[in-house]
A and B are shown apart, each in its own frame.
Chain A
Amino acid sequence: MTKFAGLSRQYWPTLVLFAFLLASWQAAVSFGGIREYLLPAPISVWNGLWSNEIAWSQHIWTTTLEIVGAFFMAAIVGVALGVAIAWSPLLANALVPFLVFVNTLPKVAIAPLFLIWMGYGIFPNMLMGALIGFFPVVINTAVGLSQVEADMLDLGRVFSAPKWKIFLKIRLPNALPYILSALKITATAAVVGAIVGEFVASQRGLGYVIVATQSSMNTSVAFAALIWISAVGLALYGLVVVVARLWAPWAEGID
């Protein structure tokens, strides 16, 4: 109860501002003569969210699948590359310049190539999200694995602990908060990637819905799709935050 009271004390300005913006938006459209295809009123958007004209559940499902797939691909590949870089200076020298190059490429520009190579489908869109989101994971993994006190490593040497043991018992848990912190960025990047992929080539998904409204001028549906996208994105982000809190409770306040 007190927690709820605290939360409501913290967030009432947000809620008030939100309500105010919604009301002014509705008023501007209703009384200001703004045409619906330019800026649909909040009520039309709300109706659009639940409209039967669009197979929302199908599109949401497709986009969610792409986002989650992108997220896990980025996480797995990112951690693996980060481990490789931290493990061996040779691999670091080989990989880092290449990774930096890949990271500086504007990924959006590669999306049409993905269409040529892989055609339509969920997988190329996943790959796009993974490509946008994997880099912070690589860097944070490598940094987290190396940011161990020198004295702690000396302690390991005193007990002649093998390298893999130092890795598993000291380096990897030490890197965990760094990795989880990067995954919050990846969660957002995965959304961008999936939507970009759908923009370029798709027949399904929330990004596709938005592109399709360009010809139908059904702007309220585009707005509704935006809201669904941010709902999916927020849910994934929230999930990562919760997992981070459960998995690395000692790291509160690192990010």
Chain B
Amino acid sequence: MANGLIDLDKVGMIYEATSGPVEALAGISLSVDAGEFVSLVGPSGCGKSTLLRIVAGLRPATAGTITVAGRQVTKPIDDIGMVFQAPILLKWRTILENVLLPAELAGKDARALRGRALELLEMAELHGFADKLPRELSGGMQQRASLCRALLLDPPLLLMDEPFGALDAMTRDDMALELLRIWGEHDLAREARKTVLFVTHSISEAVFLSDRVVVMSPRPGRIAADLRIDLPRPRTVELRATEAFGRLNLEIFRTLTGRTVGATASG
């Protein structure tokens, strides 16, 4: 029975393409505890983004069961925050109005949440930009605003789909630290933190951020490895230079490429 916040049991997904049915995911079983930061890494086409949307209830799985917070997922679940690769802010709304969008969509009182939205913007170092339009912000700032939007209704679960994928390398590293700070790495007890499911194709980003890295192999997407990252928190820039960090990176790299080579040889 369900014991994590997210429980996936033998989840599979087959979709119809013009060339016939394509198996995108097969036999995915995964359990994520509350407060855990779990990354899904894998090459493009391994179905990691699809898996994220299946967890959110935005796409139906064709096999297996998905349980989030003890409830089976059959339709979009509303207790989540989502961050996508693009910030997808509404161009005609100010940053503050964008952050408040979930309240309006969910039929909650947006005015009552104004204070919280401003707090979030301050935490993301965007408080001077509340009344600006998205186009007046840099890509990194827009993505921070989209994180604030995801956090507005204080969801226990954050689903992030390559959120830093479109940013340049330096901004990306900054954003990783920023995310961990906002997540409460410094000041919150583990149980008080949000559960994060984070999709990325950057191994080092996954290692740097996560408590666990789930490595996926492509066609069909399967779990190739599930590694615990026992690096001390809070994570720091210096951590990237340590041997332990490098070893974990290498291990994941080998799992990924080893799998790919193996698949080619057998296929």
Task: Enumerate chain A interface residues (CB-CB to B < 8 A).
Answer: 149, 151-152, 154-161, 165-166, 169-170, 173-174, 176, 248, 250-251
Q: Does B78 contact A (CB under 8 A)?
A: yes
B58→A154 contact, CB < 8 A: yes
Binds A, one of B26-34, B80-88, B118-126: B80-88
22 contacts between A and B (CB under 8 A): A151-B86, A152-B90, A154-B56, A155-B82, A155-B88, A155-B101, A155-B105, A157-B58, A157-B76, A158-B56, A158-B76, A158-B77, A158-B80, A158-B82, A160-B78, A161-B105, A165-B104, A166-B105, A169-B101, A248-B92, A250-B91, A250-B92
Which B120-177 residues sit within 8 Å CB-CB of chain A?
133, 135
Q: Chain A: which residue is nearest B91 at the CB level? A: A250
User: Given that A158-B77, A170-B90 are known contacts, is A151 also in contact with B84, CB under 8 Å in the complex?
Assistant: yes
Q: When A151-B88, A158-B76 are in contact, do A169 and B82 touch as well, CB less than 8 Å?
A: no
Q: How far, in angstroms, from A157 to B107 measured CA to CA in the complex?
A: 13
- Summed over the interface, the residue pairs from A and B with CB atoms below 8 Å come to a total of 56
Name the B residues within 8 Å of A160 (CB-CB). 76, 78, 106
Given A158-B56, A158-B76, A251 contacting B91 (CB threshold 8 A): yes
Residues of B within 8 A of A156 (CB): 105
| B78 touching A250, Cβ below 8 Å | no
B binding-site residues for A, Cβ under 8 Å: 53, 56, 58, 76-78, 80, 82, 84, 86, 88, 90-92, 101-102, 104-107, 133, 135
Give Cα distance in the complex from A176 to B91, angstroms: 12
Alpha-carbon gap, A250 to B137, bound state (A): 13
C-alpha spacing A149/B107, complex, angstroms: 22
A29 to chain B, nearest CB (A): 53
- CA–CA, A157 and B102, complex, Å: 11
Residue of B nearest to A251 (CB): B91
- What is the minimal beta-carbon distance from A79 to any residue of chain B, in angstroms? 17
Set of chain B residues within 8 Å of A166, measured between Cβ atoms: 105
The distance in angstroms between the C-alpha atoms of A248 and B90, with both chains bound, is 12
Pair A159/B86 contact, Cβ less than 8 Å: no
Partner of A154, one of B53, B77, B133, B135: B53
A165-B104, A248-B92 known; A158 vs B78 contact (CB < 8 Å): yes
Inter-chain contacts of B58 with A (CB < 8 A):
154, 157-158
Measured between beta carbons, the chain A residues less than 8 angstroms from B84 are 151
Of A155, A161, A173, the residue contacting B92 (CB under 8 A) is A173
A149: nearest chain-B partner, CB-CB: B88
A165 partner residues in chain B, CB cutoff 8 A: 104-105, 107
| CB contact under 8 A between A159 and B78, given known A154-B58, A169-B101, A169-B104 | yes
Interface of B is mostly: loop
**Bound CA span A181–B104, Å:** 28
A157 and B104 alpha carbons, distance in the complex (Å): 13
- A145 CA to B47 CA in the complex, in Å? 30
Residue of A nearest to B108 (CB): A159
> Which residue on chain A has the smallest CB distance to residue B58?
A154
B residues near A250, Cβ cutoff 8 Å: 91-92, 133, 135
A149 CA to B90 CA, complexed, in Å: 10
Residue from A149, A159, A251 in contact with B106 in the complex, judged by beta carbons closer than 8 Å:
A159
Chain B residues lying within 8 Å of A176, measured Cβ to Cβ, are 92
In the complex, A148 Cα to B156 Cα: how many Å? 28
- Give 13 new A-B contacts, CB below 8 A, not counting A155-B82, A155-B105: A152-B88, A154-B56, A154-B82, A157-B76, A159-B102, A160-B76, A161-B107, A165-B105, A165-B107, A169-B90, A248-B92, A250-B91, A250-B133
Residues in A neighbouring B86, C-beta threshold 8 A: 149, 151
- Cα of A157 to Cα of B101 in the assembled complex, Å: 13
Q: How far is the CB of B222 from chain A (nearest CB, A)?
A: 25
A173 partner residues in chain B, CB cutoff 8 A: 90, 92
Contacts of B135 in A (CB 8 A): 250
Whether A161 and B88, one on each chain, are in contact in the complex, defined by CB atoms closer than 8 angstroms, is no
In the complex, the chain A residue whose C-beta lies closest to that of B80 is: A158
Question: From A152, which residue of chain B is reached at the shortest CB distance?
Answer: B88
Q: Tell me the bound Cα distance from A159 to B82 in angstroms.
A: 10
Nearest-neighbour CB distance to chain B for A30, whole angstroms, equals 55
Q: How far is the CA of A39 from the CA of B243 in the complex (A)?
A: 90
Q: Which residues of A contact B77 (CB under 8 A)?
A: 158
